[in-house]
Amino acid sequence: MAQLPWHKSLQQALVQRQTDGLYRYPRLRQGPQGVNVKVDGQAFISFCSNDYLGLANHPEVVKAFQKAADQEGVGSGAAHLLTGHSQYHHELEMALAAFTGQQKVMTFATGYMANLAVIDGLMNRGDVVIQDKLNHASLLDGSRLSQATLYRYAHNDMASLHQRLHQTANIERKLIVSDGVFSMDGDMVALPELMALAKQHHAGVVIDDAHGLGVVGDAGKGTLQYFADQIAEKPILVGTFGKAFGTAGAFIAADELIIETLTQHARSYIYTTAPPPAIAAATLAALQINQHDDAYRQRLQARIEQFRQGASQLGLKIMASQTAIQPILIGDDKQALKLGQQLEEHGILTGVIRPPTVPKNTARLRITLSAAHTEVQVNQLLSALEQCHVH
């Protein structure tokens, strides 16, 4: 049995984490992802998946995966730069370039790896990365890996960002990094103002639009398209497939020079096995559904509006989000955990989010809505919230 010499201190830290109401447990799902799930042997209506368009178990997406697996097998067997890059990867990257309006795309096995790559592959010691306070952990880890100096600015506060840019005015290479849709609050980046400041201070920009693609903008083209009329130039875009597209993996889209630079320098691209070709094929099928059938987004938007109206009538502390992410602010960690457990007794599964994922005293129920949810199911959620006295 493997142990560490400091076994006792690890045990004490875990006990303290349980005492503080911050302990996390894996859950076992039996059967496909969807709004009706069986977790730990119990049936739930799920409001904690990122499958925003309900494509994770879509017949056309599953069929594309199976067909490619029959042709190519399961594993890619090598890194992209060796023999792991299949025709399916190539076709997906070409389709994504057209979809995003960027020159070139490179794909990754996970969004975490893409965010490590985009910062570590472009920035070095002595450079500066300026990040929103509520950015995803993987973006912060990208800065740490690059050894660039990291500055944070207050969430979506352009005056705070402007101050950071003045503070680093003598640094030649500056990169502003922000989520497009913030994963825990559900609000959107103030992109037009951010891009204007970047231009004024000669800074690059990266937008991680994991939670915006497929959900906002015409044809689900995300945050960049949502603000297209207000921005003259496109930032570097990171997108993921494990949310609205219902599969797995991620991509970076930018001009050819940036993508070629990342191909040469991004360690989380070079030194890892490429994702399975069948995943690329399934993602391409999901992308085509997303582009050609707006009914999914219309249904999702209807459920968002229904939930927000109902939550407002109940006096719930919802946040200023118009996206599929609808957090209910609770505050106390143990109270949030208790409410989550009570909702499960009503057959409702939600995300209970506590520090360090969110700031101290901002524990919340993270409700995520899907195009696959019905009006009846959202009413069941609202009824359960009322019965559990969530306020």
Q: Catalytic positions, please?
A: 183, 211, 243
CB atoms within 10 A of CB 350: 26
Residue 25 assigned ligand-binding role: no
Q: Is residue 136 within 8 Å of 209, Cβ to Cβ?
A: no
Q: What is the DSSP letter of 355?
A: T
Spatial distance between the Cα atoms of 362 and 44, rounded to a whole number of angstroms:
26
- CA distances to 35, 40, 43, 206, 342 from 30, rounded to whole Å, are 13, 8, 10, 37, 22
Residue 389 assigned ligand-binding role: no
- Strands (DSSP E) contained in the chain are 29-30, 36-39, 42-47, 104-108, 128-132, 149-153, 174-179, 204-208, 236-240, 250-254, 325-331, 348-353, 363-368
Residues in CB range of 389: below 8 A, 6 or more apart: none
CA atoms within 13 A on the CB side of 41: 0
Residue 265 assigned ligand-binding role: no
Residue 168 assigned ligand-binding role: no
In the chain, the N- to C-terminal Cα span, in Å, equals 47
Residue 151 assigned ligand-binding role: no
Name the β-bridge partners of 132. 153
Please state the separation of Cα 334 from the chain's center in Å.
Answer: 26
Find out whether the peptide bond into 356 is cis, omega within 30 degrees of 0: yes
DSSP collapsed to 3 states, 292-311: HCCHHHHHHHHHHHHHHHHH
Residues in CB range of 319: below 8 A, 6 or more apart: 185, 186, 187, 326, 327, 329
Residue 346 assigned ligand-binding role: no
| Residue 5: burial class (beta carbons within 10 Å; 0-12, 13-18, 19+) | exposed
Residues annotated within a binding site: 24, 111-112, 136, 183, 211, 240, 357
User: Binding site for substrate: residue ranges?
Assistant: 24, 136, 357
| Residue positions forming the annotated binding site for pyridoxal 5'-phosphate | 111-112, 183, 211, 240
